[in-house]
Structure 1
Amino acid sequence: MASNEPLEAERRCILTRASGPRAELIRLALGPAGEVAADLGEKLPGRGAWVSADRALIETAMARGQLQGALVRALKQSPVRVSETLADDIARGLEKRILDQLGLCTRAGLLVWGHERISDALGKGRVVLLLHAADAGEDGSGKLEMKRRAACPDSQSRVLPFDRGTLSVALGRGNVVSAAIVDAGAAARVRAALARWVAYQGLDARSADGPGMTGMEDEAPTAVAGGVDERHETRLI
């Protein structure tokens, strides 16, 4: 019996020719003067082409002139201008999308910050996702992690790729070191944005060691059928 659920539209990378879900690729939009820009929101008008969300792949293709050639063929226009900072522009754009999601959570009242407020939310079993700035001290974040495991065993946690200063500005609050999301849908959107950034940077979700990031994984994650139970992990995304 055929399923009535819509299938996610796939896109093909112009570099590898491999197809995949849109979340694993990045749209490059063609501007009116032949310039190409990353369209992370997939809303820019005009023709576009798709590349895998893989920084190393993009940088290598740019260095060899392969990206420009692939764009000319895909977009059927010449010349096509590709900025030398395209790879960095994509990284900054993906980071901004993480921060934008956190800002939306704050404005919707779905994010809690401050050690005491987070502890209270944990005690009430409300926390779905616990977040720590990249420069969070092990003492404070460690205490919150202990309480999270005990009070919210189905929750998850992540170390963000931002320091407390960047996080504080994004949330419009002073000195935010850790934050907690108390809504499942909002937490899923933040996790997805973080996962896309990690994949683009080529980092391992468990052991990536980015600037200012330190490992905070549990000693013995619980194995489950089909993978690893993430409920008790603090992962670097």
Structure 2
Amino acid sequence: MAAVEAKERESERTCIVTRRREPPEGLIRFVRGPDGVVAPDIRARLPGRGVWVGARASLVAEAAKKRMFARGLKEQVETPPGLAEDVDRLLEADCLQMLAMANKAGAVTAGFNKVEGLLASGGAAVLIGAADGGADGKRKLHQAARRSGAVWRENDGVPPMVGLFTSSQLDLALGRTNVIHAALAPGGPGASFLARCRRLAAYRGVELDGAPLVAQMMRDVQPEAEGRAGEAMEASGSVAAEDRKLDE
């Protein structure tokens, strides 16, 4: 166990923005391109010296704004405008490319009725709902998953739902038209697609289904809530003091 933990720590990299060490899966690597411009290396395969940034759009934007890439790479580099958006497009394309590969491998089922049938047999590992599709269809698929009696380990007993891509993007990836609902079978292609989608969702700061990230929303409102709680406690203390004066 200790040897495994030590090996995991060795593989960790340090984010140049937060200075926190994380596994490579939670970071994005950047290198200096031949033209002297900072280039994202989302698969961490490009040669040469690289630096790592936490896989969040806000962190990439901060690294660009504060010129941290030059310091980390220890040489003059040009940071292109819109670098954070470029990374988003690359991560998105990586997901859709994996979806296309899964489709070629026969691991994708498209169409509401077909996906519903796959759920009934317990054969769906990942669900896809177009970002511009209706919420009613996604809800019905979740209901079908629960009726099937199959047990999934997450998402309250239903397969994870990916809602990061529009219908037109799904059309292109799957070579079909009007794709609103799809599902991936258990196995390597589905797992690889899901891992890439989780990375994209984390980068965008949203849930896997495209909804606002609840945890982030809670962090955003926590300071305000704490401030209100402090004001309430202060007011309560003032009232108690006045009560004591009246008792005297």
Q: TM bucket by the smaller chain?
A: 0.7 to 0.9
More helix by share: 2
| Equivalent position amino acid for 1:93 in 2 | L
Secondary structure in 2 aligned to 1:82? coil
| Equivalent position amino acid for 1:116 in 2 | N
More strand by share: 1
Output one character per residue of 1:42-86: Cα deviation in whole Å (capped at 9) or x when no partner: 1222221111112112223433xx2x2x322222212x1110021
- Normalised by the length of structure 2, the TM-score is 0.75
- Normalised by the length of structure 1, the TM-score is 0.78
Equivalent of 1:153 in 151, 154, 175? 151
Q: What is the total number of aligned residue pairs between the two structures? A: 205
What is the 5 A alignment of 1:159-178? Answer: 159-178=162-181
Matched residue, 1:46: 48
Equivalent of 1:14 in 12, 16, 24? 16
Deviation at 1:2, TM superposition (A): 4.7
- In structure 2, the CA distance between the partners of 1:71 and 1:142, relative to structure 1 (3 Å rule), is closer
Matched residue, 2:184: 181
- In structure 2, the CA distance between the partners of 1:75 and 1:207, relative to structure 1 (3 Å rule), is closer
For the aligned residue pairs, the C-alpha RMSD in angstroms reads 2.3
Equivalent of 1:195 in 171, 193, 198? 198
Matched residue, 2:116: 119
Deviation at 1:35, TM superposition (A): 1.1
Secondary structure in 2 aligned to 1:38? strand
Q: Which runs of 5+ in 2 are unaligned?
A: 153-157, 214-248
Deviation at 1:106, TM superposition (A): 0.3
Equivalent of 2:58 in 32, 43, 56? 56
- In structure 2, the CA distance between the partners of 1:142 and 1:4, relative to structure 1 (3 Å rule), is closer
Contact 1:31 1:46 in 2 (8 A): no
Q: Which runs of 5+ in 1 are unaligned?
A: 211-237
Matched residue, 2:28: 26
Percent identical across equivalent pairs? 37
